[in-house]
Amino acid sequence: MKLFNTGAMHRVNNDARLTAANDLVQRTLAQHGLATPTELGEASERPAMQSISDLLSKLGATTSQPASSAPDIPVGASFRSDTFSCPAGSRSFRTYIPSSATESARGVVVMLHGCTQTPEDFAAGTGMNRLAEEHRFIVVYPAQSRRNNTQSCWNWFSRGDQRRGAGEPAILAGMVQQVCATHGIAKDRTFVAGLSAGAAMAVILGETYPDVFAAVGVHSGLAYGSAKDVASAFAAMAGPTGAPLPKKSQIPTIVFHGTSDATVHPSNGEAVVRQVQDIGPGQTLETVEQGSHGGRSYSVLRAATAGGEPTLEHWTVSGLGHAWSGGQAEGSYTDPKGPDASAEMVRFFFQRKEA
């Protein structure tokens, strides 16, 4: 996950934040034994952006490039481009309407890409459009602007983008409400998922707009309020060091995280799970399942209310790095091995009882 901000910060603060981020990178490299004192001295002369790239490379971030080719669209389907604007700002987005849902859709799934990715890349890598055809739902792919984050990361680490009624949460929630109104989709059929920075923002949306989203999918993400700026974001990615912001919204959540994720430490997935458990119903029934798929073993913690309504799933995939489990090679940050995260998220979302 690259996360260097940003158009959201005032230019006057950029130099100080660049320096702080650079210093943090050097300390993190040293803590992981990935840089010698000589290298650290040389690195201090380099721009922070260079050092951050070094850190991500050495910690195992995927270096594959976003898909650039246009996706194949089945006859009768459409992959529309649009822009949403509101007082909090504007973002472009793609909307996939499957041929199976041209008259009526079963729901909406919002997919938030990770850093350096695009909606087209994320669609190709997750295979979500194929599942949309199969299950008759619409997919919305918001696009982060490089004007607002130089690495196309959602600004999950900015306090101004962690609350209702402002920043990126307001933009994304408004965008989704507009799509749902156009297609007649109810709140209990509207879901959000993401990868890495997109997953962290999905958690924020579930917390700040529980009246818009019915469930959240978190792949290689972080708990709500894990960071307040760039420096604390890198610290959190290495493993939670302090208590995140308190969570108030009870929203069903499915979490995927790989045990070999060297970019966002697996303990962050556990922190997401703890937040859900802490705010969830007082009495839940929990089960643990072990399995294997595509050469990777996994464990799944499932929790449900006494009435059988699912509240949480936590998929821990052995050997998976910072990549979408069961993803397609056409996209970046994907691993074809392991359980299909897209299919499991869709199942988790749509198994919920319709109002």
Cβ 262 vs Cβ 347: under 8 Å: no
- Closest to 163 (Cα-Cα) out of 250, 238, 225: 225
What's the rounded mean pLDDT across residues 221-244?
89
Name the one residue in this structure whose structure tokens are 């990777």: 296
The structure's pTM equals 0.83
Q: Is 188 buried (19+), middle (13-18) or exposed (0-12) by CB count in 10 A?
A: middle
pLDDT higher than 70, residue 213: yes
Contacts for 38 with CB less than 8 Å, ≥ 6 apart: none
pLDDT higher than 60, residue 146: yes
Query: What pLDDT shows up at residue 29?
Result: 41
- H helices of the chain, in order, are 14-31, 37-43, 48-58, 119-126, 128-135, 167-183, 197-208, 230-237, 267-279, 341-350
Cβ 218 vs Cβ 193: under 8 Å: yes
Q: Tens digits of per-residue pLDDT, 44-86? A: 334 443 444 444 433 333 334 444 445 678 888 999 999 999 9
Phi, psi of 195 (to 5 degrees): -120, 130
What's the rounded mean pLDDT across residues 149-171?
96
> What residues are annotated to the active site?
196
Cβ 333 vs Cβ 64: under 8 Å: yes
pLDDT higher than 90, residue 41: no
Mean pLDDT over the full length of the chain = 84
Query: What pLDDT shows up at residue 71?
Result: 62
Amino acid at 155: N
Q: Is 301 buried (19+), middle (13-18) or exposed (0-12) by CB count in 10 A?
A: middle
Query: What pLDDT shows up at residue 246?
Result: 76
275: left (phi over 0), alpha (psi -120 to 50) or beta: alpha
Higher pLDDT, residue 27 or 226: 226
Name the one residue in this structure whose structure tokens are 């050469």: 295
Q: Measure Cα distances from 216 to 81, 205, 206, 253, 254 in Å.
A: 24, 8, 6, 5, 6
Q: Work out the pLDDT band at 27, boundaries 50, 70, 90.
A: very low
CA of residue 54 relative to chain centroid, distance:
22
Query: What pLDDT shows up at residue 73?
Result: 86
Q: Tens digits of per-residue pLDDT, 313-346? A: 999 999 999 999 999 999 999 999 999 999 999 9
What's the rounded mean pLDDT across residues 186-196?
96
**Distance separating alpha carbons of residues 314 and 336, to the nearest angstrom:** 19
What b/e sequence results for 69-99 when a residue is b if at least 16 CB atoms lie within 10 Å of its CB, and e otherwise? eebeeeeebebeeeebeeebbebebbbbbbe
Instruction: Report the range of poorest mean pLDDT among 102-116, 241-255, 306-320.
Output: 241-255
Q: Work out the pLDDT band at 121, boundaries 50, 70, 90.
A: very high
Q: Work out the pLDDT band at 37, boundaries 50, 70, 90.
A: very low
Q: Work out the pLDDT band at 16, boundaries 50, 70, 90.
A: very low
**Distance separating alpha carbons of residues 131 and 120, to the nearest angstrom:** 15
Higher pLDDT, residue 281 or 171: 171
pLDDT higher than 60, residue 21: no
Percentage of the chain with pLDDT > 90?
69
Give Dmax over CA atoms of the chain in angstroms: 64
Query: What pLDDT shows up at residue 3?
Result: 59
